[in-house]
Structure 1
């Protein structure tokens, strides 16, 4: 299957961080790009994300690490302009999950060894000292990584897309075939919507609840999250407040914050930073991570003949892998222009 080598009309379905990043990469490569999204960027799951650049709940691990390293490089460069891009470089601790954070589904070491390449790639990453870890945690890492203010970053991506000639259209896409009738290539970044749109029953939500509080002076991030835990601990200082988390509940569809869960989230954060116990609550939020057994990043032909590049199923690592996945989308489009056929997956 080939597409014309001239000005290619691209339709990107989905306006979260995956869709916008893919759209920027394509537009800056010279394509005519239109993002179609039911929701404004600020209303997507991406806007609820804590924004730490670190692989979390995403497979396959080997590809996820490659994508994450690429995104780390891009976000670190964007962190030189934090007010414009929403990205900052912040030091923090990734602690081995304590017994209370592991949950029934935790398996010791699940996924940890697979991230060895990530540990090797992060500049300055080192083992945490005993005095840098909370009680009950035997090991962890200290690192300076990108921490992204997601609402600000999504606005930046939209501005960057517009500057490259792309557009954003607010409407619901009822089928990929419909999108393909109005575009040379469709890029499917519909996240959780892919469950019905593709349809792909492997796509399911992993519910995440967070509490945002006034910052009592916390400058470092902190995370303790078991690989299969339904409850995690993270403290992420953002310009608008401290994001406290969280939960990771498989197949939970509710977007309503649970007051009891919120209380437990604050209590876990306060065990690490006692000053959080009295911090004023600014907001409660719930997002549904678009999980899948493995990210789907592949090309197929839609009814009607248009090629579709699927890019969905990123779980809790959307911002962490967005630029690496966007590179693969761009390579897929270039391959199509060179005449190779679609690749299923």
Structure 2
């Protein structure tokens, strides 16, 4: 049955969800400010980076890999399949579970490896130029009938005023909309963009002794990063920028004389685990709302009473009185792009499973 759905958040997660819901026949409104899209700052190469739980991230990432591979064949999407290298300094601690999902991986020869690197992989993966991609995705959503309105709603009540379902996909703002989430915290990412001297191969070095390092060439620049620190500071730090450039130029000497084009800091929505679940299936604060008991329950559609306290089931979400269902989808850390389509598909399935109010 078609539903009226309000998606709170217009970054890559929110727009992907809106796309899947509209494609399934639902009436969808997105609320969020384009200027606040931290997704715009992503480099972005498809790669599962520090997101949990592993089994669900795997499923979401595989789904997104399939979709991005398809989109790379479409003009104007900002997605391309690009060659790259993943450097491995400590094979014993390197997480390579993703290798089972990706074809055409080749071990690097010793002569190809930078100094101090024990091993490496050559692989072709989707690279997503986020300003182009988000503009394309927003346009695709509008063509499917999605209304995109500026500004986050002040709360879940407002989102449900004209909707049967509210989807909370607002990154770091999501916790506050749901009455607080102590597991949600900002993960600071700083990047510097250089003029592209003509390189087309990306490089990822998660195990660099001096910190995370990546070099992602795009059509007009090269994104160099990065950081993944627990901090809410959005100011560009000159010392961090110097360290980023030293790592990037050490890995890619062709960048030695490339001038700086721009610099930026963004706050990723970090969480112990991505939260994707039905927070409340139906009813108001005076009705018997239910929640899933965790990632596994959400995935299977099995619900339990609100915690272990029957009285808690009647409370619903703190401060929310409007009837309607609520789905949470946030806390993707540095894997928002990589998991986006898989998460969107799951939200669409959860929406279809919710009985009418």
Task: Report the TM-score, using the length of structure 1 for normalisation.
Answer: 0.87
Using the TM superposition, give the Cα deviation of residue 81 of structure 1 relative to its aligned residue in structure 2, in angstroms: 2.3
Instruction: Give the 3 Å change call, closer, same or farther, for CA 9–51 of structure 1 in structure 2.
Output: same
Using the TM superposition, give the Cα deviation of residue 132 of structure 1 relative to its aligned residue in structure 2, in angstroms: 2.6
| Corresponding residue of 1:71 | 64
| Corresponding residue of 2:328 | 310
| Corresponding residue of 2:7 | 12
1:285-315: CA deviation from partner (whole Å, max 9, x where unpaired)? 1111111000011002253331111110100
Cα distance in 1 between the residues matched to 2:207 and 2:171: 24
Correspondence 1:236-315 to 2 at 5 A: 236-250=216-230, 252-301=231-280, 302=317, 303=320, 304-315=322-333
SS in 2 for 1:153: helix
Using the TM superposition, give the Cα deviation of residue 273 of structure 1 relative to its aligned residue in structure 2, in angstroms: 1.3
| Corresponding residue of 1:54 | 47
User: Which of 305, 325, 340 lines up with 1:322 in the alignment?
Assistant: 340
Mark the runs of 5 or more structure 2 residues left unpaired by the alignment.
281-316
After TM superposition, where is structure 1 displaced by more than 2 Å over at least 4 residues in a row? 126-129, 302-305
Contact 1:202 1:293 in 2 (8 A): yes
Correspondence 1:17-166 to 2 at 5 A: 17-37=12-32, 39-40=33-34, 43-82=36-75, 84-97=76-89, 109=93, 112=95, 115-116=96-97, 118-166=98-146
| Corresponding residue of 1:331 | 349
Using the TM superposition, give the Cα deviation of residue 141 of structure 1 relative to its aligned residue in structure 2, in angstroms: 1.8
Contact 1:222 1:236 in 2 (8 A): yes
Cα distance in 2 between the residues matched to 1:43 and 1:175: 17
1:221-250: CA deviation from partner (whole Å, max 9, x where unpaired)? 0000139x8831100001120000011111
1:195-233: CA deviation from partner (whole Å, max 9, x where unpaired)? 322221211111000000001111100000139x88311
Contact 1:11 1:183 in 2 (8 A): yes
Task: Report the TM-score, using the length of structure 2 for normalisation.
Answer: 0.85
Contact 1:49 1:150 in 2 (8 A): yes
Contact 2:38 2:266 in 1 (8 A): yes
Mark the runs of 5 or more structure 1 residues left unpaired by the alignment.
99-106
Give RMSD over aligned pairs. 1.9
SS in 2 for 1:247: coil
Using the TM superposition, give the Cα deviation of residue 179 of structure 1 relative to its aligned residue in structure 2, in angstroms: 1.1
| Corresponding residue of 1:225 | 206
SS in 2 for 1:95: strand
User: Which of 165, 173, 190 lines up with 1:193 in the alignment?
Assistant: 173
Contact 1:79 1:146 in 2 (8 A): yes
Using the TM superposition, give the Cα deviation of residue 108 of structure 1 relative to its aligned residue in structure 2, in angstroms: 5.8
Contact 1:180 1:306 in 2 (8 A): yes
Using the TM superposition, give the Cα deviation of residue 192 of structure 1 relative to its aligned residue in structure 2, in angstroms: 0.9
Contact 1:69 1:121 in 2 (8 A): yes
Cα distance in 2 between the residues matched to 1:22 and 1:127: 36
| Corresponding residue of 1:101 | none
| Corresponding residue of 1:202 | 183
Contact 1:185 1:307 in 2 (8 A): yes
Contact 2:8 2:152 in 1 (8 A): no
Q: Which structure: larger Rg?
A: 2
SS in 2 for 1:275: helix
Cα distance in 2 between the residues matched to 1:21 and 1:279: 34
Cα distance in 1 between the residues matched to 2:89 and 2:189: 17
Correspondence 1:172-187 to 2 at 5 A: 172-187=152-167
Contact 1:55 1:68 in 2 (8 A): yes
Contact 1:76 1:146 in 2 (8 A): yes
Cα distance in 1 between the residues matched to 2:142 and 2:278: 26
Cα distance in 1 between the residues matched to 2:124 and 2:114: 19
